[in-house]
């Protein structure tokens, strides 16, 4: 595939190793959320384009050029993708910032993680293998891991390149073919990442990208009989819809959905570490994270001390030019999302809560037409309020007091979600007890970060199922074949004929 600048006016979709227009020739505009200005045109896929992409993916799977490629060579291509990404690191970061409005430092970390995902799976796939099982005399059984087939992958706008990497890397490591649909708000880095996959030697048809609306393109993927598995990251309501529709063709389904993660600060915590971690936990990526620690529980004995620091630091957070290395909080993805966030804050006020700081849209100098919202802290809430129970997906945290470990666990688990959670304490015994009792896929202990390549990421309850970013993910992109043989010599005659 011809190498182009990553920044362009028009991005085509990628089907069968080629950049192509939509069959309809339609395009849509993608924007820079920090300025509100149009950024580029993107080919707008339709159901017919999904058919083309599925055919290409199916042919690639059947011809075996990738699936049957020796695993060490597949691994080498994946490392090559990573090194090509490293070579274009700054370009990838800039494109991600332009299309998402996130801060430079956030984008740098996320592009680096996307690179490391390819490196992780390049290594992990080499050790991914079947087993030989103990059998009665004369019988022999081995299992082998075979790619699940053609995978439809649908991703959200909050971590555009990282989500693309979380989806593409384990799937191609396993030998699958892909039809990927990026979010319409942020399609660009997923498209260029797919181009890089081809430059690095992934054969045509293995990775296809079809940008377009969820209601048509997403739906066509979920219902397509030529697709074997759907991997989805996004909101819980759409996840439920996908699971229902995918049942018609009995597709394998993995879902990474919403969250409302608790963050518990015990009285014996290192207060400064807890303040820094809690700021990062909610305001990183402008709060647009499924694992955002959006419910903060602080022990009554340290509440005043903690809150004084937490509020002061929140007020100091720097919003500004996303391309500035010193900017700490970027833009909101869209006007619609900003309205959703503000609607939650207004509902909290109507319910009698107190907005301690933030709670409004802000104008950032030089970015007056962009979408910016002040980092927001809300107190005086009760556990039934919408703002405590529903995912906001913005820079808004609710804070509550608690008085003992049992109460903290009860409050933490009082949610329909179960993705992340965090505990701040110097007592290792307490950390272990609480970690054991929280119903969530991830527990962070004195740690601001929720994941690295290699650590499982995924939810309990209505946060979905399946794990990404880890070894187990490879099981979710493979089927296990059991080969059962008899070598006992004497013919078996089980019917006694």
Footprint of ligand NAD on this chain (CB under 6 A)? Answer: 154-158, 181, 183-184, 214-215, 218-219, 222, 233-235, 238, 241-242, 256-259, 290, 391, 393, 419, 459, 463-464
| φ, ψ at 326 (rounded to 5°) | -85, -5
Residue 192 or 257 with smaller CB distance to ligand NAD: 257
Residue 164 or 275 with smaller CB distance to ligand NAD: 164
Clarify whether 468 is annotated catalytic. no
Residue 203 or 214 with smaller CB distance to ligand NAD: 214
Burial tier of 2 (Cβ tally within 10 Å: 0-12, 13-18, 19+) = exposed
Burial tier of 495 (Cβ tally within 10 Å: 0-12, 13-18, 19+) = exposed
The tokens of 183 are what? 């979010």
The tokens of 164 are what? 């693309």
Rounded least distance, CB 429 to ligand NAD, Å: 30
The H or E element that residue 188 is part of is helix 188-199
Residue 279 or 290 with smaller CB distance to ligand NAD: 290
Smallest CA-to-CA distance from 415 within 357, 460, 355 is with 460
Q: Which residue in 151, 176, 197, 290 is the catalytic one? A: 290
The tokens of 453 are what? 């390549």
Interatomic CA distance for residues 242 and 152, integer angstroms = 11
Residue 192 or 298 with smaller CB distance to ligand NAD: 192
Rounded least distance, CB 208 to ligand NAD, Å: 15
Rounded least distance, CB 484 to ligand NAD, Å: 38
The tokens of 328 are what? 């700490």
Interatomic CA distance for residues 32 and 45, integer angstroms = 21
Rounded least distance, CB 259 to ligand NAD, Å: 6
DSSP state of 216: I
- Cβ atoms of 311 and 397 within 8 Å: the answer is no
Residue 54 or 155 with smaller CB distance to ligand NAD: 155
Chain centroid to CA 418: how far? Answer: 15
Rounded least distance, CB 62 to ligand NAD, Å: 26
Residue 195 or 256 with smaller CB distance to ligand NAD: 256
Smallest CA-to-CA distance from 441 within 427, 423, 455, 425 is with 455
Interatomic CA distance for residues 24 and 49, integer angstroms = 9
- Cβ atoms of 275 and 310 within 8 Å: the answer is yes
Residue 82 or 242 with smaller CB distance to ligand NAD: 242
Rounded least distance, CB 415 to ligand NAD, Å: 13
- Cβ atoms of 356 and 341 within 8 Å: the answer is no
First-to-last C-alpha distance (Å) of the chain:
62
Q: Is the dihedral of CA 464, 465, 469, 473 positive or negative?
A: negative
Rounded least distance, CB 221 to ligand NAD, Å: 7
Q: Which residue in 204, 256, 391, 468 is the catalytic one? A: 256
Clarify whether 256 is annotated catalytic. yes
DSSP state of 457: B
| φ, ψ at 13 (rounded to 5°) | -80, 170
Q: Which ranges constitute the DSSP H helices of 438-496?
A: 471-476
The residues that are catalytic are 256, 290
């Amino acid at each position: 595939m011809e190498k182009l600048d990553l920044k362009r006016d028009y991005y085509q979709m990628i089907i069968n190793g080629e950049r192509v227009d939509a069959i309809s020739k339609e395009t849509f505009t993608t924007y820079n959320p920090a300025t509100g200005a149009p950024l580029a045109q993107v080919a707008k896929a339709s159901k017919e384009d999904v058919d083309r992409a599925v055919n290409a993916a199916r042919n690639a799977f059947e011809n075996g050029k990738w699936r049957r490629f020796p695993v060490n060579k597949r691994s080498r291509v994946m490392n090559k993708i990573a090194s090509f990404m490293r070579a274009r690191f700054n370009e990838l970061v800039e494109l991600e910032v332009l299309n998402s409005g996130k801060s430079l430092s956030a984008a740098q970390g996320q592009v680096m993680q996307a690179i490391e995902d390819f490196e992780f799976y390049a290594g992990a796939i080499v050790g991914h293998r079947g087993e030989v099982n103990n059998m009665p005399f004369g019988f022999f059984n081995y299992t082998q891991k075979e790619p699940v087939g053609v995978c439809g992958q649908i991703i959200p706008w909050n971590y555009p390149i990282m989500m693309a990497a979380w989806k593409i890397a384990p799937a191609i490591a396993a030998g699958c073919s892909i039809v990927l649909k990026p979010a319409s708000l942020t399609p660009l880095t997923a498209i260029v990442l797919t181009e890089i996959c081809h430059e690095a030697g992934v054969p045509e048809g293995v990775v296809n990208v079809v940008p377009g609306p969820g209601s048509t393109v997403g739906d066509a993927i979920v219902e397509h009989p030529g697709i074997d598995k759907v991997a989805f990251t996004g909101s819980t309501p759409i996840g439920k819809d996908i699971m229902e529709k995918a049942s018609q063709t009995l597709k394998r389904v993995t879902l990474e959905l919403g969250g409302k993660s608790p963050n518990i600060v015990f009285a014996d915590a290192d207060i400064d570490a807890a303040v820094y971690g809690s700021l990062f936990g909610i305001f990183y990526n402008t709060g647009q994270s499924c694992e955002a620690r959006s419910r903060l529980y602080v022990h009554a004995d340290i509440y005043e001390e903690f809150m004084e620091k937490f509020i002061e630091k929140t007020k100091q957070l720097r919003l500004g030019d996303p391309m500035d290395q010193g900017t700490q909080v970027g833009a909101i993805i869209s006007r619609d999302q900003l309205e959703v966030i503000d609607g939650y804050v207004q509902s909290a006020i109507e319910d009698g809560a107190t907005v301690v700081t933030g709670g409004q849209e802000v104008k950032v100098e030089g970015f007056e037409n962009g979408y910016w919202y002040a980092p927001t802290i809300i107190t005086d809430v009760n556990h039934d309020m919408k703002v405590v129970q529903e995912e906001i997906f913005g820079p808004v945290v609710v804070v509550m007091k608690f008085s003992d470990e049992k109460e903290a666990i009860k409050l933490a688990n009082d949610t329909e979600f179960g993705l992340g959670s965090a505990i701040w304490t110097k007592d290792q015994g307490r950390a272990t007890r609480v970690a054991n009792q929280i119903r969530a896929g991830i527990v962070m202990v004195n740690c601001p970060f929720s994941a690295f390549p290699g650590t499982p990421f995924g939810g309990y309850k209505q946060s979905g199922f399946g794990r990404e970013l880890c070894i187990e993910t490879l099981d979710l992109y493979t089927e296990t074949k059991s080969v059962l043989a008899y070598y006992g010599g004497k013919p078996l005659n089980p019917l006694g004929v």
